[in-house]
């Protein structure tokens, strides 16, 4: 189609034209190209409109608000970079960020390792009923809404919950405690919920990656005398490197911007020990009514996620190319 709209371009080379004509020709060309693009633009316009209204506009507005002192209703005052300076100097605002980085262990590292191993085992099981069942069981947490998962785990980890009942049953009564209400265990307990949710996603990604491995590779490895572990390290792992990268990126992002699970299970308590940036933004915006400070933290969180994720992204890309 594009070719029929501008036949002249291919026929005459611009150098044959006198210089005065070139400019007018170019202008005509540009107008033609614009006309050529208009139907396309008309087609994307509705989507573009919604994207601009509901993604770009809030994004720009957040950046804009972060330079103001504003309560969300009344008049606002320009404060320049003050909100960002406070982010770097107020220990109360740094604590949540430290917590978010600790959550990476539970939301990302544990589920990825567990997901790879689970996928490798399930793959070995082939098309058996056991494989189907374990795949379903492991993926189920992904289907359950995070709010429901949070409530369920709150019950499990309550002082009279299933977890403590089990520990008492096997004689570990000394370990029982209110897992989500203890300063030392609250953050790991919240992390366990996140790990449980994310394992399914990691496993599914790995399984998808493993299905594209040529079975001949395994046969060759076996002929060379490789055991199951060697096979896993030398054949499976290199082949799923890209999926591994995707899994790590998605789960790291989920750790840094976590909100739902923590909001439901601990609301940041006890004593701020599970406070994360997402929750802090919510409290700042809706309870303290410091829209400017909340926006600044939101912008910083977005930047932080990008800073952490972009190098990860590059790492997996270059590895897969080499």
Partner 1 sequence: MSQASFTHRATGRRLVPSLALGLAGALALAACSPPGGTAEPEETATGTSTPSASGDFSCPAEDTTIKAYVETGFPIFAELAAEFENQYPNVTFDIREDQFAVITQNAPRTLADSDTDIMRLPQMSDLASQGLLMDLDEYAAAFGWDQWPSSQLEQLRVDADGRRGDGPLYGMGLNFSMTGVFYNKELAAQIGMTEPPATLEEFDGYLQAAKDAGLTPVAQFNGGATGGLAFPLQALMASYGPPSDINSWIYLQDGATIDTDTNVQAAEHLASWIDAGYFADDINSLDYSQMMSRFIGGESVFIFNGDWESGNLDTQMPGEAGFFLMPPLEEGGQLGAMSAPLTYGISANAGNPDCAAFFLDWVATDEAARTITVEVGGSHPMGPVDAFMPEIDPDSVTAQTLAAGAIVGENNGSMDFIANATGEIYAKSWTPNLQKMVAGEQTAAGMLESVQADYLEQIGG
Q: Which parts of this chain interact with partner 1 (CB under 8 A)?
A: 2, 6, 9-10, 13-14, 29-30, 33-34, 36-37, 40-41, 44-45, 48-49, 51-53, 56-57, 59-61, 64-65, 68, 70-78, 92, 158-159, 177-183, 266-272, 283, 286-289, 291
Q: How far is the CB of 267 from partner 1 (least distance, A)?
A: 4
Burial class (CB in 10 A: 0-12, 13-18, 19+), 2: exposed
Q: How far is the CB of 184 from partner 1 (least distance, A)?
A: 9
Q: How far is the CB of 85 from partner 1 (least distance, A)?
A: 14
C-alpha torsion angle, residues 77, 79, 84, 90 (rounded to 10) = -80
Whichever of 78 and 224 has its CB closer to partner 1, that residue is: 78
Distance CA 253, CA 309 (A): 7
Whichever of 92 and 319 has its CB closer to partner 1, that residue is: 92
Give phi and psi for 146, each to the nearest 5: -60, -35
Q: How far is the CB of 271 from partner 1 (least distance, A)?
A: 4
Whichever of 3 and 212 has its CB closer to partner 1, that residue is: 3
Distance CA 67, CA 73 (A): 16
Q: How far is the CB of 314 from partner 1 (least distance, A)?
A: 24
Q: How far is the CB of 53 from partner 1 (least distance, A)?
A: 7
What does each C-alpha distance from 177 to 74, 107, 214, 262 come to in angstroms?
Answer: 46, 23, 49, 19
Whichever of 246 and 296 has its CB closer to partner 1, that residue is: 296
* Residues counted in the chain: 322
Neighbours of 173 (CB within 10 A): 10
Of residues 309, 305, 110, 259, the one with CA closest to residue 198: 110
């Amino acid at each position: 189609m594009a070719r029929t709209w501008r036949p002249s371009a291919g026929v005459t080379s611009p150098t044959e034209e006198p210089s005065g004509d070139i400019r007018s020709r170019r202008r005509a060309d540009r107008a033609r190209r614009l006309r050529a693009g208009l139907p396309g633009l008309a087609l994307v316009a509705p989507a573009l409109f919604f994207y601009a209204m509901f993604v770009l506009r809030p994004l720009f507005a957040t950046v804009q608000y972060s330079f103001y002192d504003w309560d969300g209703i009344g008049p606002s005052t320009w404060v320049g970079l003050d909100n960002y300076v406070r982010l770097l100097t107020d220990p109360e605002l740094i604590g949540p960020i430290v917590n978010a980085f600790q959550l990476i262990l539970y939301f990302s590292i544990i589920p990825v390792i567990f997901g790879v191993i689970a996928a490798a085992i399930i793959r070995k099981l082939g098309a058996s009923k056991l494989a189907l069942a374990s795949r379903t069981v492991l993926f189920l947490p992904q289907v359950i809404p995070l709010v429901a998962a949070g409530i369920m785990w709150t019950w499990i980890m309550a002082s009279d919950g299933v977890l403590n009942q089990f520990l008492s049953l096997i004689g570990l009564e000394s370990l029982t405690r209110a897992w989500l209400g203890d300063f030392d265990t609250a953050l790991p307990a919240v992390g366990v919920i996140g790990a449980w949710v994310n394992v399914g996603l990691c496993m599914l990604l790995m399984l998808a990656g493993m299905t594209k491995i040529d079975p001949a590779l395994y046969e060759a490895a076996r002929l060379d005398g490789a055991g199951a572990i060697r096979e896993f390290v030398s054949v499976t792992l290199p082949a799923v490197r890209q999926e591994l990268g995707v899994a790590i990126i998605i789960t790291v992002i989920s750790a840094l911007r976590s909100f739902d699970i923590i909001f439901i299970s601990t609301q940041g308590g006890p004593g701020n020990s599970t406070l994360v940036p997402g929750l802090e933004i919510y409290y700042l915006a809706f309870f303290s009514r410091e829209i400017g400070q909340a926006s600044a933290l939101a912008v910083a969180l977005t930047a932080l996620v990008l800073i952490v994720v972009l190098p990860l992204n590059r790492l997996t890309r270059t590895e897969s190319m080499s």
